[in-house]
């Protein structure tokens, strides 16, 4: 099949897939060119997909309890590149799964923390990846560090952000994108205070030198500065493109979708709409200058950050083809914006939103609501939605719901407690959307998982409550696995390990090294349960990061038997006709095996990781957390065509490629979400070899 000719007549003539001299067809960038998660290949089709078999399996041996593995594998010239649960970078033979090399950035120590990492960036002779606060460049042929890049192969991402590096906590769970001779990178930063700004940066691919920076929390004199408090640029954090970036090389534009500002649930020290948090951003890829922006949530206090990088699509309206950006959201909305101007292609309404009763808070009076497409999820948890799985669970959930505020997606956080629906982990997720340029359909998997946020007066007398309880809860039970339980952690980790973890931070957890000797007091509490760490109350309130309120913890609303508290579906797979702004089909996606065994099937379930669609109309997706299945659907109807079993949950986006004339679909199987089994394997499927 001549895939270059096919793609040339579709969306991305400038983003050719192409076959090399060996007949290989690549998956060259995270999410595929344009982040549309589409392959033009047709060898596997609706008729023969049921013949798929495991072509090869690679077991990294790196899985441990609670670990995850979320790479979207990159395949170039018959070689596959990905990261493992322990953050080794690996290169495999894409036709056999044989390991060619691996690189361990943590040598000689062994990582014992869960990392959420979505892969690497491959450019010419090098492989870029992030580990903690470092951006590494490896030799693509050998896996050895490129010593001419930065300091012996790495640069420190804490530097160049305009604040003391030792006080910054920054990493990147999603790989960067390449434009000309630059790698452009978003970041993962803490969602608490003190914060780290989520500025977007471009680095020279050869030297590691920073070429430009875009301040997502604007400085004085910059556009958007007046949408924050006066000194927000000095202390606020977040507004980060944690889910990755998308490049349009033809237009020379890099697109970003940013997260909320920190602290997530109370914003008295960032009064205003807070540009460029919760924005789709179009930046000049050469200079980093803003071209346009669209803000999906104003002054976010609900953790409604955009969960995936923008998808570059083409929409037909009134017989005219329009290059556009599709942006999925945690709210269940999909925003369709003109790629050159940011103008919505479907009607958008700004409606009045309720105001907060919390002292010092000032919410935006208006919030945007797209009229089309309709939301993919329910957005308010009402009494008629309460689970009826059993009379006992119904009564318990109904009683709890009646103690909370539940009036839609912009219900303000309160001391009483607020239901976030579809939730901080709900709606569309980081796996992103797939787009078929032939049919004009956009495919999105979605969660319906209510969460509870309850605000409390900020405790200034306890170091633990002051610094840790917002994530791990007053009772240290957390909200696993996103915010792990700290109960009995002293039995699982050494005191030295805990001190190192608290000082250095990890992923979304900030570094608390600035607390100096108080770190020992916090660790004493975690080990012994005796809270002897006392905060200087006057000093705490004088700190510009001090807030009157904090959240009690991240509370996933469940019924008494730990199932979702609402009537199904609990997760869905959706096809949206972008030309009409309508949902073409919607099906429940996933199930709980123990409930299915009792006859309760097609409920939907938690799902993480995205779909990929092919030129033959087959939609592939893993994502379901508990049944460990890999699925193939008919993109036109949502009909299930085939299912295969995985060694652990495929909480990742698949890749599709061809080696030696044989088409493969590959997915990493890391599991580990919401207490599911962890894994460390990569599995490739193909039709039987002739």
Q: At what angle do helices 495-504 and 518-528 cross, to 10 degrees?
A: 130
Task: Supply the pLDDT for residue 3.
Answer: 38
- Evaluate if residue 110 carries a pLDDT over 70: no
Mean pLDDT on 400-407? 97
Residue range 592-630, pLDDT digits in tens: 999 999 999 999 999 999 999 999 999 999 999 889 999
- Evaluate if residue 684 carries a pLDDT over 70: yes
Distances (CA, A) of 674 to 21, 28, 117, 677, 682: 44, 31, 17, 9, 21
Q: Extract the tokens encoding 508.
A: 């979304």
Q: Extract the tokens encoding 245.
A: 């970036």
- Evaluate if residue 539 carries a pLDDT over 50: yes
Task: Supply the pLDDT for residue 35.
Answer: 98
Task: Supply the pLDDT for residue 399.
Answer: 97
Distances (CA, A) of 186 to 130, 170, 238, 315, 477: 11, 10, 11, 27, 31
**Start-to-end Cα distance in the chain:** 17
- Evaluate if residue 481 carries a pLDDT over 60: no
Rounded to the nearest 10 degrees, how much is the dihedral formed by the CA atoms of 451, 270, 187, 656?
A: 50
> Could you tell me which of 344, 414, 419 has the C-alpha nearest to residue 378?
419
How many CA atoms are closer than 13 Å to the CA of 270, on its beta-carbon side? 33
Task: Supply the pLDDT for residue 9.
Answer: 36
> Could you tell me which of 130, 132, 115, 138 has the C-alpha nearest to residue 62?
115
Task: Supply the pLDDT for residue 288.
Answer: 98
Instruction: Average the pLDDT over each of 120-124, 166-170, 171-175, 647-651 and give the range with the smallest value.
Output: 166-170
Task: Supply the pLDDT for residue 370.
Answer: 97
> Could you tell me which of 206, 66, 34 has the C-alpha nearest to residue 123?
206
3-state secondary structure 512-553: CHHHCCHHHHHHHHHHHCCCCCCCCHHHHHHCCCCCCEEECC
Task: Indicate the CATH number of 459-546 among 1.10.3720.10, 2.60.120.1090, 3.40.630.10, 1.10.760.10.
Answer: 1.10.760.10
> Per-residue confidence at 23, pLDDT binned at 50, 70, 90?
low
- Evaluate if residue 337 carries a pLDDT over 80: yes
Instruction: Average the pLDDT over each of 97-111, 193-207, 585-599 and give the range with the smallest value.
Output: 97-111
| Average pLDDT for the chain | 91
Task: Supply the pLDDT for residue 507.
Answer: 56
Q: What percent of the chain has pLDDT over 90?
A: 77
Mean pLDDT on 428-433? 95
Task: Supply the pLDDT for residue 609.
Answer: 96
Residue range 52-91, pLDDT digits in tens: 999 999 999 999 988 999 999 999 999 999 999 999 999 9
Task: Supply the pLDDT for residue 508.
Answer: 62
Dihedral sign, Cα of residue 172, residue 212, residue 249, residue 216: positive
> Per-residue confidence at 2, pLDDT binned at 50, 70, 90?
very low
Report yes or no: 431 and 462 within 8 Å, Cβ to Cβ.
Answer: no
- Evaluate if residue 501 carries a pLDDT over 90: no
- Evaluate if residue 480 carries a pLDDT over 90: no
- Evaluate if residue 517 carries a pLDDT over 90: no
Instruction: Average the pLDDT over each of 259-268, 432-441, 617-626, 671-680 and give the range with the smallest value.
Output: 671-680
Residue given tokens 């560090």 in the structure block:
145
- Evaluate if residue 493 carries a pLDDT over 80: no
> Per-residue confidence at 265, pLDDT binned at 50, 70, 90?
very high
Residue range 296-308, pLDDT digits in tens: 999 999 999 999 9
> Per-residue confidence at 397, pLDDT binned at 50, 70, 90?
very high
- Evaluate if residue 380 carries a pLDDT over 90: yes
């Amino acid at each position: 099949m001549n895939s270059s000719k096919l793609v040339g007549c579709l969306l991305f003539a400038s983003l050719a897939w192409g076959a090399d001299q060996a007949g290989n067809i690549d998956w060259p960038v995270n999410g595929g060119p344009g982040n549309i998660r589409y392959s033009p290949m047709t060898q596997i089709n609706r008729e023969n997909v049921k013949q798929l078999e495991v072509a090869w399996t690679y077991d990294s041996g790196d899985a441990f309890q609670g670990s995850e593995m979320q790479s979207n594998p990159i395949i170039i010239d018959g070689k596959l590149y990905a990261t493992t649960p322990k953050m080794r970078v690996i290169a495999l033979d894409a036709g056999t799964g044989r390991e060619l090399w691996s690189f361990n950035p943590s040598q000689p120590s062994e990582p014992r923390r869960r990392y959420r990492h979505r892969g690497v960036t491959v450019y010419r002779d090098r492989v870029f990846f992030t580990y903690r606060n470092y951006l590494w460049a490896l030799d693509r042929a050998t896996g050895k560090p490129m010593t001419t890049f930065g300091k012996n192969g790495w640069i420190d991402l804490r530097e160049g952000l305009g604040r003391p590096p030792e006080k910054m906590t920054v990493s990147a769970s999603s790989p960067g994108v390449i434009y000309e001779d630059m790698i452009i990178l978003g970041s993962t930063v803490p969602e608490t205070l003190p914060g780290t700004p989520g500025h977007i940066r471009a680095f020279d691919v050869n030297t590691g030198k920073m070429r430009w920076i875009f301040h997502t929390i604007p400085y004085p004199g910059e556009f958007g500065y007046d949408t924050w408090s006066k000194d927000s640029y000095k202390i606020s954090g977040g507004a980060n493109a944690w889910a990755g970036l998308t490049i349009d090389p033809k237009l020379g534009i890099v697109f970003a979708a940013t997260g909320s500002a920190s602290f997530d649930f109370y914003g008295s020290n960032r009064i205003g709409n807070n540009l460029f948090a919760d924005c789709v951003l179009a930046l000049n890829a050469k200079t980093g200058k803003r071209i346009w922006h669209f803000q999906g949530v104003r002054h976010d206090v609900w953790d409604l950050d955009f969960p995936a990088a923008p998808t570059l699509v083409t929409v037909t309206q009134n017989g005219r083809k329009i290059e556009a950006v599709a942006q999925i959201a945690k709210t269940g909305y999909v925003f369709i914006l003109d790629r050159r101007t940011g103008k919505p292609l479907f009607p958008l309404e700004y409606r009045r939103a309720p105001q907060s009763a919390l002292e010092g808070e000032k919410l935006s009076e208006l919030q945007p609501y797209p009229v089309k497409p309709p939301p993919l999820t329910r957005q308010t948890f009402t009494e008629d939605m309460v689970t009826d799985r059993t009379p006992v669970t119904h009564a318990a959930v109904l009683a709890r719901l009646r103690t909370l505020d539940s009036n839609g997606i912009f219900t303000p956080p309160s001391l009483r407690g607020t239901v976030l629906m579809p939730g901080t982990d709900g709606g569309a997720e980081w796996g992103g959307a797939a787009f078929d340029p032939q049919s004009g359909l956009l495919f999105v998997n979605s969660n319906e998982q209510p969460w509870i946020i309850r605000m409390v007066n900020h405790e200034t007398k306890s170091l633990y409550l002051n610094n840790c309880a917002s994530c791990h809860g007053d009772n240290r039970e957390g909200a696993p696995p996103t915010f792990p339980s700290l109960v009995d952690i002293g039995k699982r980790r050494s005191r030295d390990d805990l001190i190192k973890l608290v000082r250095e931070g990890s992923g979304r957890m900030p570094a608390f090294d600035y607390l100096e000797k108080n770190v020992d007091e916090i660790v004493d509490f975690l080990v012994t349960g005796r809270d002897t760490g006392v905060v200087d109350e006057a000093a705490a309130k004088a700190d510009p990061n001090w807030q009157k309120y904090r959240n009690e913890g991240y509370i996933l609303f469940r019924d008494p038997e730990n199932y979702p508290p609402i009537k199904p579906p609990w997760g869905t797979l959706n096809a949206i006709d972008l030309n009409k702004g309508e949902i073409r089909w919607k099906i429940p996606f996933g199930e709980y095996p123990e409930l299915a065994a009792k006859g309760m099937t097609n409920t939907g379930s938690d799902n993480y990781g995205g779909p990929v669609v092919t030129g033959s109309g087959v939609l592939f997706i893993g994502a379901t957390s508990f049944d460990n299945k890999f699925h193939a659907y008919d993109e036109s109807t949502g009909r299930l065509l085939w299912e295969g079993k995985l060694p652990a949950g495929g909480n990742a986006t698949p890749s599709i490629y061809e080696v030696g004339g044989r088409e493969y679909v590959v997915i990493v199987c890391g599991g580990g979400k919401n207490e599911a089994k962890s894994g460390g394997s990569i599995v490739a499927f193909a039709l039987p070899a002739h």
